[in-house]
A and B are shown apart, each in its own frame.
Chain A
């Protein structure tokens, strides 16, 4: 066919296709090439479009209008055993086309449907010439997620475009070379330098010994003293030459002195200004490599209450990141909140901090921080808040906290998956000192726990409806009692026990004697892995909760045409992760970590696991956004969304995410022969 000037029909087809991924990202030229080769076919309601019997797939389909459903079980195809539903703009069957095989499912028109169709040869040619198309076909979910993230960023970041993302590597954020001095420098000289340069910190360094033999000169010229591989991090390095001695092997940090220290350690202490700086510097340093992300630095600062993080490559100092560097534009800083929590003297201050945590979560969404980091932030801050509440409660008690105990977080809090709306799930593990009974210890701790639960409630963590709280005598137990309880559940394996296990087996230490939680984890890992029957029951139970794909229009919806993102979206992943992790004998509670760590042990390909993780995180992000919006509108927060309220892209990704959940469940079913 000779290249023709596209007529209005081809142009209209281009416009139509461009409303959908991946066509929205493809070069116009490639899209026009494709449009010229498309044919349009009609499938009446109920007609089979593709089936395994048809052999190797010869065409690529894009739905122009209508709905197509995939049916996994060919024998029961008519029983509405739909596993996917495809709507306008969606493509199929990618896998079969790429693998040059037949489809494994029946594709049937669910309504009168028109499909654009492209011959398989043209499909392969298009995938060869068009990177976005290729990308879409091979990494469908990953590339959709990336687009969604960009859309979200655009939505939230009207004014923060200049703000550096918290997902940038530290190497891209380091603003200036660190000012350094030797440990024997007099304090007076350090103060004068800091004053003259207007800086807030001085890094105290020692020369690193020169490398024993100089390495062979690299092919390209690297300025002496630069850390090796610096150019490979993709940063420009512009204006960022470092101040290290060009002759030596660089310097290594041994301490830090900040303006903050002047008051306490110099002025108030009446220090002799001729003393060496080493006598007043802080020696506990937080260091991160240049490849670490900004949010990691922020987390370190929040956890430890520092204002600076040193960037080191090996032992060599390459820069310093201050809190200001990270949050210059942010209204509510992570560290300010954590400092406020740390210094809070009463419940009112903590309530205020709790509000700030939610505000910060919004700001971070605006920066496009991914769900994984966002939930990590929220969890970190909520942990601090909880710890401070416990501290204050213990301080106010009359010696009831003397015995060793560990406050444990359970459920989603235990998995670091807190969203903006999380009710309390907690418990206590305690030691029984010689000469005391468990009941006596419990009586003491329950009184304090009651106040702690009430304070958490006041800070926006509603009391648990199921009474899974430390103030419930059932969940305030000695280490031995916990082991007995867990043993009972594992041995019984009835529905009640399985439900409890799904909440309590995700425990982690939050405050107090972490050793108690660790030994319980170690014990549980062995006990569960040694009991395949129990894992089998857990798997069977998990498979009862199917992802809501496909019967009515795109999704199976419940009350008022809504989906429960927690029950139907998150839970299948969380349940499967728990079982895989327990089977592998690991003590982690974080679902993403559980999946990543358990996969190699169970021979699950990395790409498959990453697909699950991305799907899981996407649903988390949707939950966060949904709750955030509800919060802005002063509505009660929940996990129910109307799929029609999502934009096209997100709706499709959500469907894909549910498909991933189904895959994960299929894997579980295979492993446990269910």
Chain B
């Protein structure tokens, strides 16, 4: 029953400096506008110990910012969260982050603070948001003890919404990146996947422009509509 004792273990407190950084992030101003050609968005991808949303742990976060319709390569983020024990071999084979790298990663509190500081208050974008969002939310809850409520956009719904004729054949990230000839320099590395997803986001932005959608809200509407279609069909 080790998971029970884990559940009732007292939460480790943040030190004062960490608390100050968290407070600073909380008080950041929200971006004034959300124009696709004028704002900053953060495209994110995570690696975990497995696919179980309730139990598996967050191992790595990769993020790439899209500024005014372009990806600034230097405005990118990559971190490996320190694990008390390395994940299993099968799992390591997927993301390639070895046992030593896992146990020598950056302590979780520090990792997550850096992530928040990288994101700021800019909207997040991912492919299959539920997974990335849940894993990040849970980690923030566990280590920083707060509820991460943030605007997200799911390209897994936006793309089929924009290109319904491809929706049946294109379901996974690889299908969509393949359609736009986007290559991935290291599939299943969080940052490389974030870059591919960010390139897909640029393509989506381009289609949005043709459809006279100029704001993030417009993309969220496309996502919402597509969720209804998927649910209904």
Contacts and interface: CB of A to CB of B under 8 A. Distances in A.
Interface in A10-46: 10, 12-13, 15-16, 35-42, 44
B181 A38 contact: no
A7 B78 contact: yes
Interface residues of A, number: 27
Contact of A36 (B71, B74, B192, B207): B74
Given A35-B73, A112-B203, A9 B182 contact: no
Contact of A9 (B70, B180, B183, B191): B191
Contacts of B189: 8
A112 B198 CA distance: 15
Nearest to B76: A9
A36 B206 contact: no
Interface string B126-166: 00000000000000000000000000000000000000000
A90 interface: no
A358 interface: no
A65 B73 contact: no
Given A44-B206, A65-B182, A8 B78 contact: yes
A342 interface: no
Contact of B74 (A10, A15, A42, A114): A10
A40 B64 CA distance: 11
B186 A42 contact: no
Nearest to B201: A42
A114 B182 contact: yes
Interface in B177-199: 180-183, 185-186, 189, 191-192, 195, 198-199
B: contact size bracket? 20 to 34
A30 to B, nearest CB: 15
A35 B186 CA distance: 18
A8 B199 contact: no
Nearest to A37: B74
Contact of B70 (A15, A44, A117): A117
A111 to B, nearest CB: 7
Nearest to B179: A112
Given A7-B78, A8-B191, A44-B206, A39 B72 contact: yes
Contacts of B203: 42, 44, 112
B108 to A, nearest CB: 19
B45 to A, nearest CB: 12
Nearest to A34: B73
A16 B199 CA distance: 16
A282 B205 CA distance: 84
A5 to B, nearest CB: 10
A4 B206 contact: no
B92 interface: no
Contacts of A42: 199, 202-203, 205-206
B201 to A, nearest CB: 9
A246 B181 CA distance: 74
A1 interface: yes
Contacts of A255: none
Contact of B73 (A13, A15, A66, A112): A13
Most buried by A among B62, B73, B199: B73
A367 B34 CA distance: 63
Given A65-B182, A112-B180, A114-B182, A8 B70 contact: no
B69 interface: yes
A380 to B, nearest CB: 51
A41 B181 contact: no
Contact of A65 (B181, B186, B191): B181
A35 B73 CA distance: 7
A15 B186 CA distance: 12
A39 B192 contact: no
A13 B69 CA distance: 19
Contacts of B206: 42, 44, 47
Interface in A89-124: 111-112, 114, 116-117
B202 A4 contact: no
B199 A114 contact: yes
Contacts of B77: 7
B131 to A, nearest CB: 21
12 contacts: A4-B74, A8-B78, A8-B191, A9-B191, A9-B192, A15-B185, A35-B74, A38-B72, A38-B73, A38-B74, A39-B71, A66-B181
Interface of A: 1, 4, 7-10, 12-13, 15-16, 35-42, 44, 47, 65-66, 111-112, 114, 116-117
Given A10-B76, A42-B206, A65-B181, 5 more contacts: A7-B191, A40-B70, A44-B203, A44-B207, A116-B73
